[in-house]
Chain A
Amino acid sequence: MRTSDLPAVRPKYFEDSDRFHVRLREFWHEYKKNRMAVAGLVIVIFFVLIGIFSPWLILHDPNEQDIFNRFQPPVWMEGGSWEHPLGTDELGRDLWSRIIYGSRVSLALGITVAFFATTLGIIMGLVSGYYGGTVDSIIQRIVDILLAFPYLVFAIALMAVLGRGVFNLFLVLLYKEWVTPCRVVRGEVLAARESEYVEAARAVGASDFHIMFKEILPNVFSSVIVVATLRVAWIILMEASLSFIGVGVPLDIPSWGMIIADGRGYITQYWWLSTFPGLAILLTVLGINLMGQGLRDALDPRLKE
């Protein structure tokens, strides 16, 4: 069905829409139509707040051991106490505090890696798509190789060599995470490169830098945002996996993956040890994915003329 003939109406208050808050309001108008996306946003905000305010939310030092209170069950079960609302693990560490603190590593790592990886991916994608030819071939072959390699195996090997550590984890995740944004950006740039507005900019003598970053980038940005958001969820899962295997963050930093790993030996008797961190991962990833999909719907230019 052709939609060009459909009447396009915009309310009057969108008239001066170069103002940021007006555009934000327009975006929110689209976004809130999707209930699930709003739910996702609430979940994400909830976890981010937990991460920020964790020093005030914890009841114990997450690494504090209390050998006499091992395997204490959650508060609503027999033998539980408000001292340890979610119980304790095999060393008597407070599960509540560990999970709260674990959100810091997961979210911080997820967001920073996604940010740097996306930035790198955007630059590579712009260069690759805009210049084409040999540059494009080289970058895309690198991308192909990275995609063809079994990443988890490679990451385990690399971490084993580099050793545990947050920065090492950051590098190992970054090493591959730029690939997806790069692909997305390149695809969009290939389309935008042929557009008349780019040609118009070239006709007035604009530089390649200007065309790439000022003309094309704003137009591909919305899809990049969506991809980056969804990558955060993926990175959180990757971090949890690596920590679970034991090649992730150092032992003194509690991370969700590591808490699950700690509890896996006792899961038949003390189910809460792995279940609660697992739920935290599940909720966060679900929230981010819902949010990402909401962003996609709200930012998709096809829905907005």
Chain B
Amino acid sequence: MSSPLLEIKGLKKYFLRQQAFWQKWTGKKEYIYAVDGVSFSVNKGETVGLVGESGCGKSTLGRTILRLYEPTAGEIYFDGEKINDLRGDELLQLRRRMQIIFQDPFASLNPRQTVEKIIGLPLKIQGMKGRELSERIDELLEQVGLARVHRKRFPHQFSGGQRQRVGIARALAVNPSFVVADEPVSALDVSIQAQIINLLQELQEKMGLTYLFIAHDLSVVSYVSDRIVVMYLGQVMEMGPAEEIFSSPQHPYTKALLSSIPRIGKKNPSTGRIILEGSVPSPLNPPAGCKFNTRCFIKNKPAACFHEPPPLIEGAPGHYAACHLLG
């Protein structure tokens, strides 16, 4: 196994909840526990899938790793270097090596800027100009399957898939080695999703990229990822090699998640399905103990589930799960 390109240890990100002005004096503070102690690593050249339901903190985690949010606690190591406290120029250098692809190709492109400007921005910031800049933009457009004629166009003149290609070109402009793909295909139509997935994989091969692939669609994640991290309410429930997660899920949440996926062309799809009750609790006030205990379908849970957060236990090599029942 190669050395980890990215390693995070006990990463936490709490948001202070917007408060009414009188609460400033009473001193009572409410936090949203978006990411609550997450540790994992990403090796060079691999794709790690990060799955979970909305509100589980997966997008926050991705942005905290990129230092778009300031981490509350924990450490982030990139290429062996701690990047928690980088500032100014050093942070700019980091931006060259880590990039992000956003979910919504409508929202992530400035509607008032041409494609040329959007893709050119990271290059200009890194000090490129003139012909070199112009040529690089052409090269990038070609790499993501767009043409020169698209340079002068505005985002609204593109279809969703093309817009996402522009987003990818912007992320790859500075030749990063690590890319956080935050739900890059979930806003796209099925036939276009496949185009973008293939493009991302092609680029990975060509440029030796490492992906942290955030998605809620398990079939997409299973397709692109080497390893998978399952998150729930800001914590890792299970992580391990993709095949193992799908063939032998350990954690009850993973099991339920997998069994919820609609199957195409299967007769009597509902037989043997685990349907979780209720919905994800608010991250403002997460349950004590195991965070999944309010929705866990297992009967006669041990008392520990309600008091102690379960540790991540390595059941098989490289396959971890956090459940008291597995201990």
Contacts and interface: CB of A to CB of B under 8 A. Distances in A.
The reply to whether A and B meet directly (CB within 8 Å) is: yes
Interface of A: 10, 15-18, 195-197, 199-206, 215, 218-219, 301, 305
A15 B153 CA distance: 7
Nearest to A198: B110
Given A195-B107, A203-B95, A17 B157 contact: yes
A197 B107 contact: yes
B121 A204 contact: yes
Interface stretch (B96-104, B188-196, B218-226): B96-104
28 contacts: A17-B153, A17-B154, A17-B157, A18-B154, A196-B102, A196-B103, A196-B107, A196-B108, A197-B109, A197-B111, A199-B63, A199-B68, A199-B100, A199-B102, A200-B102, A200-B108, A201-B110, A203-B68, A204-B121, A204-B125, A204-B173, A205-B92, A205-B95, A205-B96, A218-B113, A219-B111, A301-B111, A305-B156
Interface in B108-135: 108-114, 121-122, 125-126
Interface string B152-181: 111011000000000100100110000000
B91 interface: yes
4 closest cross-chain pairs (CB), A and B: A204-B122, A196-B108, A205-B95, A218-B112
B112 A203 contact: no
Nearest to B101: A200
B154 A203 contact: no
Contacts of B215: none
Tell me whether chain B's interface is mostly helix, strand or loop, or mixed.
loop
Contacts of B102: 196, 199-200
A206 B125 contact: yes
A204 B108 contact: no
B66 interface: yes
Interface string B44-87: 00000000000000000001001010000000000000000000
Contacts of A301: 111
Interface string B268-308: 00000000000000000000000000000000000000000
A10 to B, nearest CB: 7
Given A16-B152, A200-B170, A219 B112 contact: yes
B124 to A, nearest CB: 9
B113 to A, nearest CB: 8
Contacts of A195: 107
Given A203-B68, A206-B125, 20 more contacts: A10-B157, A15-B157, A16-B152, A16-B153, A17-B154, A17-B157, A196-B108, A200-B102, A200-B167, A203-B95, A203-B99, A204-B121, A204-B173, A204-B174, A205-B95, A205-B96, A205-B125, A215-B110, A215-B113, A219-B112
